Amino acid sequence: MSVEIRDERFMSVVGAEVQFEQIASGFLFTEGPLWHPREHYLLFSDIPGNRIHRWSSKEGVSTFLEISNMSNGLAWDRAGNLLICEHATSRVTRWHAVSPISRSQKSGENGRSESMVTPMLDRTPQPIATHFKGKQLNSPNDIVCALNGEICFTDPPYGRVEFYGVKREQELSFQGVYLSRDPKEPTLLVDDFDRPNGLCFSLDHRRLFINDTARQHIRVFDVNSIGTLSGGKVWAETKGEGPGAPDGMKIDSMGNVYCCGPGGIHVFDPNATCLGVIRVPEYTANFAWGDADFRSLYITASTSVYRIRVKTPGLPSL
C-alpha cells in the first residue's frame, strides 16, 4: 500500500493512493529539497556526496554546486538568495544570484544527466551564522525564512559524527534552535531539544513547529514580536511502523502539517490529528512542494528523489 489512512479526511488532502515516480537515483543520501517557483527547478543536497544537485523536467539532473561542504537544509531568503546549512563547516551561508549555466554534458545512468554546471553564485558566500558565544555551532541542519526576512535554523550534532568520515568534537553542550539576525552572533531561541531537526511556520507565521528526531515528536512555539519564542508544548507524536523519524517538515495551504516519521511522511490536520501516512519506498529525510500548482510533492529518500501528486496544494518556498 502506498498510503496508510487513519482518518477519511486524508483522502481529500493526499488521496486514496499515490503513485511514486522516481525522478532521480544513485545518490548517497539525499536531503534539503527546494523548489524554485518561478524558474521551475528543484535543488537538493547529497550530503555524503558533498554536492547540491539541480533537477528540472526538461534537463534532468545536473550538478549545481560541486563542493557544498556537506550541505543539508536549503531555503530561499526573501530576496531570492540561497541559504545553505553546511555540516562540514558548521555554518549557515547565503549565496547570491543562483541561476546555473552548463559547461558540458554527457549522458549518465539511472536517468541522471552528468552535466557539470558552473553555478552563477557569488563565489565568496556570506556566512550568516558560525558561532555562539565564541563556540562553533554543532552542524546547522534545517532552515526556514520568516515573512519579515528573519532566518531560523536547527543545530543538532549530526554533521560531527563518523557517518560523514570525520568525527569532530562538539564545542557546545546543547542542541539549539537559532534566529540568524546578527551575522556575528545568532540569537538562541531554545536549547532544550535532544535532536532538533525539521521546522516550519504556521500559515500566519505566529507559531513555529519544531520536531525532535530523538524524542519522536513535534513541538509548537508562539512567535513573539521581539524575536523570541514562548510555549513549546508537545503538539504531536509520530507513531507507526517502519523505518523513519521526525526530520523534514512542511505545512500545506490548508494548514496541514507534513512530517517525516516511521514508514514515510505523516500528515496531521491543524489540530494535530494524524490523518495518515504516505509510505515512501525508501527511508525518507525531507520533501518540498513544487510544479506550477504546488500539488507535486518532491521527496528526498535515501538514494533517490521521488515525486507524487497530492490533492491539497502546498505553499511556495519563495
Taking residues 204-210, what's their average pLDDT?
A: 97
Tell me the per-residue pLDDT of 22-61, one tens digit each, with 9 for 90 and over: 999 999 999 999 999 999 999 999 999 999 999 999 999 9
- Estimate to the nearest angstrom the gap between the alpha carbon of 227 and the chain centroid: 22
| Res. 121 pLDDT band, cuts 50 70 90 | low
Which residues, listed in sequence order, are joined to residue 268 by a DSSP beta bridge? Answer: 257, 274
> Is residue 103 pLDDT above 60, yes or no?
no
Full-model pTM: 0.92
Residue 62 · residue 53 · CB < 8 Å: yes
Closest to 177 measured CA to CA, from 216, 148, 220: 220
The SS3 call for residue 160 is: helix
Closest to 317 measured CA to CA, from 1, 31, 69, 81: 81
Closest to 201 measured CA to CA, from 229, 241, 238, 161: 229
Tell me the per-residue pLDDT of 135-152, one tens digit each, with 9 for 90 and over: 999 999 999 999 999 999
pLDDT score recorded for residue 226: 84
Do β-strands 175-180 and 151-155 pair in parallel, antiparallel, or remain unpaired? antiparallel
> Is residue 221 pLDDT above 50, yes or no?
yes
Taking residues 269-277, what's their average pLDDT?
A: 98
In the chain, what are the domain boundaries? 29-243
Closest to 308 measured CA to CA, from 35, 56, 111, 21: 21
Cα 142 to Cα 83, 125, 136, distances in angstroms: 10, 18, 17
| Res. 318 pLDDT band, cuts 50 70 90 | confident
> Is residue 108 pLDDT above 80, yes or no?
no
Cα 241 to Cα 42, 196, 197, 237, 265, distances in angstroms: 30, 22, 20, 13, 12
Q: Which fold has domain 29-243?
A: Neuraminidase (2.120.10)
> Is residue 292 pLDDT above 70, yes or no?
yes
* Strand ranges in 124-238 using DSSP code E only, listed in sequence order: 126-129, 131-132, 135-136, 143-145, 151-155, 175-180, 187-193, 196-201, 207-212, 217-223, 229-237
